[in-house]
Amino acid sequence: MSSKSSLLKVILLGDGGVGKSSLMNRYVTNKFDAHLFHTIGVEFLNKDLEVDGRTVTLQIWDTAGQERFRSLRTPFYRGSDCCLLTFSVDDSQSFHNLANWKKEFVYYADVKEPDSFPFVVLGNKLDVSERQVTSEEAQQWCRENGDHPYFETSAKDATNVATAFEEAVRRVLALEDRQDHLIPTDTINLHRKPRGGTPCC
Amino acid sequence: MAATPPSTDSRRCLFFFLYDNSKVQKEGDLTRDGIYYFYPDDTPIDQQELLCGQLAGVCRCVSELSKSPVRLLRLRRSKYAVCMKDSFLWALSCVVDIPDVSVCDFLNQLIDLFCFYNGPVRQSYQLYSQEELAQRWAKYLCHLQGGSTELHNIFSCLRTIDSTHIDPLLLLKAALILQACQRCPLVLSGCILYRGRVVSTQMPPALTQKVMVYETETYSQDNRVAANGLCSSVGTSLSFTVTTQVFLTTNELHMMRCSPVDRACRTHCSQPPSRSRNSRLLSRTLSDTLTADTDSLNLEPTDCPPKSNATKPSSPRSSLSDESCFSPSPSIVNSPLNSRMNQSEYFTPQSHDHSVANGPNSSKVKEPCLTGSLTGLNTKERVAEDAYEKLDSGCSSKSISKVINSDQELNHKEKIKSFSNGYQLQSNCLENHSDSFYQDNQTDTPEGQQLNANNHTTNTNDRLQRDTEDEGRPKNEQVDKGEQILKDNVNNICNPPNAPLQHETLVDGSLVPTVLYQHRVRGLVLALLVETDFNTDPTAREEVYHSSLASLNGLEAHLRSTSPGTPSIQGPYTFTHYDCIQNTLTTNVCGHSAGPQDRAFVKATALLHSHFSQTDTLQEAIVRNASSAVYGTHTTAQETYFLQQGVPVRNSGSPDAQDSAFSLPKKARQRLLKHGVNLL
């Protein structure tokens, strides 16, 4: 069980420029660089962490938000354990696009049960003063779209970044635990010998 | 891929040896004592002696008679590319059908490679055993012959990733990773390799070639221990970094310091690294060139001595740097041009002051005493080199040096002698020797400098040895050897060998220790040439590591998931396009499995390439046999060869306008456009 969850792949999706790369860098290297170039295709970093007494390696995949990079990023959706849908609180368009991102992810990642798949929604750039998306709006969207957890973060001043990633890990672990519980009840053990039936006569 | 041992058919080299004439001077000296390395190593020693002794004699005789260096000796069944330097003689033989120019290139590459990883030849044979160095020669030979196609051998070109099968955006990604690394001022230039092939490079082709040896080596054996012992590793075996000491020629270093991102100011001023890192808006990415530029401009008045402005590579630098930032491979395209263009600016008398002004700054970094002194030395040396170069470029120094009368020359020698003697009396601290020597040269009166420069050609050989030994000594902490080296120096200065100069690496003098940083992520390698300070600066190292790690991970994932693809559709034609500037090849001849038709094409290509290399003015040529005709065209930037297949050759045997060969140029132009080859 523990070996199964040792490497968790989480993927950051969202419009270009909402701060996906910055979130990843802030979380893994605790650095912020205001002059990052667009991500081309995908990039990833690993981070070891302990959540609720369990050690996991988190593999954070950062993707290119621009439409022209779509063909480069989509092959890497597969195998994700969690999806972090990211928008920028000072850009309402990026918020409205969340639904598209979710759709794209479900399609390319080939998620079997989209309703139970762990999504986490991040509203980044909390440090910017002119907000275009209110906290209430975002929370409402999350409730209506599958009750996803919502975090407001700032990669620039490190607000809530670690919390958000840790929550993502908790969601994945919780889901796995639930599935592990389900396994014995839903499956038939083929190795078990059928009960020697009573002699028929 | 690159790790595959060379198959016998692609083996170009029949014999190769390094022979030291100075070891065989008297009647009783054994020839075998002069043989430092012989390939193949299972050759009986008698044969080795025969070959080395004969060739050394012939070379010496020919060069003395002709007063020009021997480049090539042609025998009945083989030919030897030859390089003579000091008392050393290198010779490499190949089968005759390989073009002369390719054989000579091969030998030059081999010697360059050795010097890149081991430093000057004399010094390395003082430091390491012959057996150890024999292994390295063998390794470099193997690398240069390994896994190449015949066409690669003919052009001695780089092995590049097949760009037809990967998304061009990934090439952009690789280029951006390299640019991001250059935000650290200690990073000179870099390249990214994937499975033994170049993905993107900022280095001149010759340097990329050298860096690749090491790449191949680690790729094949996952070897974390660098040859020169200067190494460390981070992370797991899937991702780790290594640094190795390497040696660059002053020219190479000069080009890299000046051209690619125009960081001349920052590097020259040798400001404390922390300072430059704090002013962090140095991104060389497309997004913020403007900030970067203003930033460096801001630095100028504060950090640079005003006079040194005159020594900057280019005064209209903002516009120039913008352009070079946006061009796809700025270093390759701009650097040779820049360095040539800017030479005149470098030789203003102020360049003196510049080096002096640099002195105190560089001694500030004295904490790691070793690197500090090295840097100081190098800077001065570089300036001295510049001064030499000026005279070289200004007028033919060879002719000058011949005109110099013997009195003058004698004076100079005595002067040097007195320097050395004086030094011996003055100081016991060998540590200072090199510095004081250079300062003497540097702060000399202009006449003195003139004199030095005039003697440049006669002294170059000595300078190579002198300089490199000076540098090598602190590095290897061979202080006790210093005394001997000093004597050697004096001897060398007084007895300049009359061996002619020919080889670029050897000619342009000293080799400067630099560091090769390598970060591997599975099959992907980021190789950076960095200043020596990089090793002692953990923050710089960390910055480079962290700024590139995620992107390297991503790029590796992309390249791994890219299918190798089907071999490109073979049209009804065969072509080869050689880019002389980037030293790369585009072709639709597939690797080793060349059919008879392809083999004829390769043969014709070799023939034409040989002709083109001999005759600069030759632009177009057609070679033909009864059944086919190969068209070749050549400019300073490229060579292209084209064969139309499946068309009956109309060839009357006499000049005829209907001859199908005459339509080849037009066809080549049309067909090759879709391969990105523009012959218009």
Each domain of chain A, given as residue ranges in start order, spans: 6-181
Query: Is B285 an interface residue toward A (CB < 8 Å)?
Result: yes
Query: Is B558 an interface residue toward A (CB < 8 Å)?
Result: yes
Chain B residues close to A31, C-beta within 8 Å: 546
CATH superfamily of A6-181: P-loop containing nucleotide triphosphate hydrolases (3.40.50.300)
Q: B546 vs A31: CB contact, 8 Å cut-off?
A: yes
In a shared domain, residues B80 and B148: yes
The H or E element containing residue B193 is: strand B187-194
CATH code for position B586:
3.30.450
In a shared domain, residues B652 and B601: yes
Give the A window 51-70 contacts with B, CB below 8 Å: 62, 69
User: Would you state the structure tokens that stand for residue B417, as one six-digit string?
Assistant: 């002698």
Can you tell me the distance from the alpha carbon of B221 to that of B242, in angstroms, rounded to the nearest whole number? 14
Contacting residues for B135 by C-beta, under 8 A, at least 6 apart? none
Give the per-residue SS3 of B368-421: CHHHHHHHHHHHHHHHHHHHHHHHHHHCCHHHHHHHCCHHHHHHHHHHHHHHHH
* Average pLDDT in chain B: 67
Reported as a pLDDT band with limits 50, 70 and 90, residue A183 is low
Contact, B530 vs B188, CB < 8 A? yes
**Host domain of residue B597:** 573-675
Lowest mean pLDDT: which of A70-74, A109-113, B365-369, B515-519?
B365-369
What pLDDT score does B284 carry? 34
Reported as a pLDDT band with limits 50, 70 and 90, residue A139 is very high
- Rounded to the nearest angstrom, the gap between the alpha carbon of residue A87 and the centroid of all alpha carbons in its chain is 13
In a shared domain, residues B51 and B118: yes
In a shared domain, residues B195 and B119: no
Picking from B170, B173, B553, the nearest residue to A45 by CB comes out as B553
Can you tell me the distance from the alpha carbon of B611 to that of A59, in angstroms, rounded to the nearest whole number? 56
The H or E element containing residue A93 is: helix A92-96
Reported as a pLDDT band with limits 50, 70 and 90, residue B649 is low
The H or E element containing residue B56 is: helix B45-66
Lowest mean pLDDT: which of B19-23, B217-221, B243-247, B580-584?
B217-221
Q: Residue A173 above 50 pLDDT?
A: yes
Query: Residues A19-73: pLDDT tens digits?
Result: 999 999 999 999 999 888 899 999 999 999 998 888 999 999 999 999 999 999 9
- State whether the Cα torsion B165-B168-B172-B175 is positive or negative: positive
CB pairs under 8 A between A and B: 58
Chain B residues close to A12, C-beta within 8 Å: none
Q: A40 vs B281: CB contact, 8 Å cut-off?
A: no
Query: Is B236 an interface residue toward A (CB < 8 Å)?
Result: no
Picking from B280, B291, B557, the nearest residue to A42 by CB comes out as B557
In a shared domain, residues B111 and B243: no
In a shared domain, residues B531 and B634: no
Q: Residue B648 above 80 pLDDT?
A: no
Residue B420 located in a structural domain: no
Chain A residues close to B283, C-beta within 8 Å: 35, 37
What pLDDT score does B629 carry? 87
Reported as a pLDDT band with limits 50, 70 and 90, residue A12 is very high
Can you tell me the distance from the alpha carbon of B215 to that of B524, in angstroms, rounded to the nearest whole number? 9
Reported as a pLDDT band with limits 50, 70 and 90, residue B627 is confident
Kindly report the backbone phi and psi dihedral angles of residue B80, in degrees, each rounded to the nearest multiple of 5, phi listed first: -120, 125
Query: Is A43 an interface residue toward B (CB < 8 Å)?
Result: yes
- State whether the Cα torsion B184-B186-B191-B195 is positive or negative: negative
Q: Residue B358 above 60 pLDDT?
A: no
Chain position carrying tokens 């950090």: B303
Q: Residue B26 above 70 pLDDT?
A: yes
Contact, B113 vs B140, CB < 8 A? yes
Between A176 and B296, where is the model more confident? Answer: A176
Does residue B196 come out as left (phi exceeding 0), alpha (psi in the -120 to 50 range) or beta?
left
What pLDDT score does B96 carry? 79
Can you tell me the distance from the alpha carbon of B131 to that of B488, in angstroms, rounded to the nearest whole number? 25
CATH code for position B553:
3.30.450.30
Domain boundary pick from B98, B131, B155: B155
Can you tell me the distance from the alpha carbon of B606 to that of B624, in angstroms, rounded to the nearest whole number? 13
Query: Is A8 an interface residue toward B (CB < 8 Å)?
Result: no
Chain A residues close to B286, C-beta within 8 Å: 37
Query: Which pTM does this prediction carry?
Result: 0.68
What pLDDT score does B218 carry? 56
Kindly report the backbone phi and psi dihedral angles of residue A130, in degrees, each rounded to the nearest multiple of 5, phi listed first: -85, 100
Reported as a pLDDT band with limits 50, 70 and 90, residue B604 is very high
Between B375 and B555, where is the model more confident? Answer: B555
Residue B5 located in a structural domain: no
Q: How many CB atoms lie within 10 A of CB B633?
A: 22
Query: Residues B80-119: pLDDT tens digits?
Result: 999 998 889 999 998 777 888 889 999 999 999 999 999 9
In a shared domain, residues B17 and B151: yes
Give the 3-state secondary structure of residue B579: strand
- State whether the Cα torsion B18-B20-B26-B28 is positive or negative: negative
Residue B494 located in a structural domain: no
What pLDDT score does B321 carry? 33
In a shared domain, residues B18 and B110: yes
What pLDDT score does B259 carry? 57
Highest mean pLDDT among A10-14, B341-345, B507-511: A10-14
Between B340 and A98, where is the model more confident? Answer: A98
Between B663 and B293, where is the model more confident? Answer: B663
The domain total for chain B is 3
Query: Residues B514-530: pLDDT tens digits?
Result: 999 999 998 899 999 99
In a shared domain, residues B69 and B103: yes
In a shared domain, residues B537 and B664: no
Query: Residues B546-600: pLDDT tens digits?
Result: 999 999 999 999 999 887 665 555 678 889 999 999 899 888 887 655 677 788 8
Chain B nearest C-alpha distance from A37 (Å):
7
Domain boundary pick from B155, B183, B208: B155
Reported as a pLDDT band with limits 50, 70 and 90, residue B15 is very high
Q: Residue B393 above 50 pLDDT?
A: no
Instruction: Write the burial class of residue B622 (CB in 10 Å: 0-12 exposed, 13-18 middle, 19+ buried).
Output: middle
Reported as a pLDDT band with limits 50, 70 and 90, residue B146 is confident
What pLDDT score does A153 carry? 96
Chain A residues close to B200, C-beta within 8 Å: none
What pLDDT score does B621 carry? 92
Can you tell me the distance from the alpha carbon of B82 to that of B111, in angstroms, rounded to the nearest whole number? 11
Give the pLDDT mean for B621-635: 88
Can you tell me the distance from the alpha carbon of A75 to that of B649, in angstroms, rounded to the nearest whole number? 49
In a shared domain, residues B144 and B206: no
Residue B427 located in a structural domain: no
Its ipTM equals 0.89
Q: Residue B166 above 60 pLDDT?
A: yes
Query: Is B291 an interface residue toward A (CB < 8 Å)?
Result: yes
Lowest mean pLDDT: which of B273-287, B497-511, B602-616, B632-646?
B273-287
Reported as a pLDDT band with limits 50, 70 and 90, residue B334 is very low
Give the pLDDT mean for A164-175: 92
How far is CA B190 from each of CA B220, B247, B268, B561, rounded to the nearest angstrom?
A: 21, 15, 19, 24
Chain A residues close to B240, C-beta within 8 Å: none
Lowest mean pLDDT: which of B129-138, B233-242, B616-625?
B233-242
Chosen for mutation from B282, B558, B561, B563 (greatest number of chain A CBs closer than 10 Å) is B558
Can you tell me the distance from the alpha carbon of B129 to that of A145, in angstroms, rounded to the nearest whole number? 72
Instruction: Write the burial class of residue A68 (CB in 10 Å: 0-12 exposed, 13-18 middle, 19+ buried).
Output: exposed
Reported as a pLDDT band with limits 50, 70 and 90, residue A144 is very high
Query: Residues B255-270: pLDDT tens digits?
Result: 888 754 544 333 333 3
Determine if the peptide bond prior to B40 is cis (ω within 30°): yes
How far is CA B23 from each of CA A122, B26, B31, B316, B415, rounded to the nearest angstrom?
A: 74, 9, 8, 53, 29
In a shared domain, residues B139 and B24: yes
Can you tell me the distance from the alpha carbon of A195 to that of A180, in angstroms, rounded to the nearest whole number? 26
Give the nearest chain A residue to B174 (CA atoms): A40
User: Would you state the structure tokens that stand for residue B19, as one six-digit string?
Assistant: 């022979």
Chosen for mutation from B172, B173, B286 (greatest number of chain A CBs closer than 10 Å) is B173
Give the B window 386-445 contacts with A, CB below 8 Å: none
What pLDDT score does B469 carry? 40
Query: Residues A82-104: pLDDT tens digits?
Result: 999 999 999 999 999 999 999 99
The amino acid sitting at B238 is L
Q: How many CB atoms lie within 10 A of CB B300?
A: 16
Q: B547 vs A71: CB contact, 8 Å cut-off?
A: no
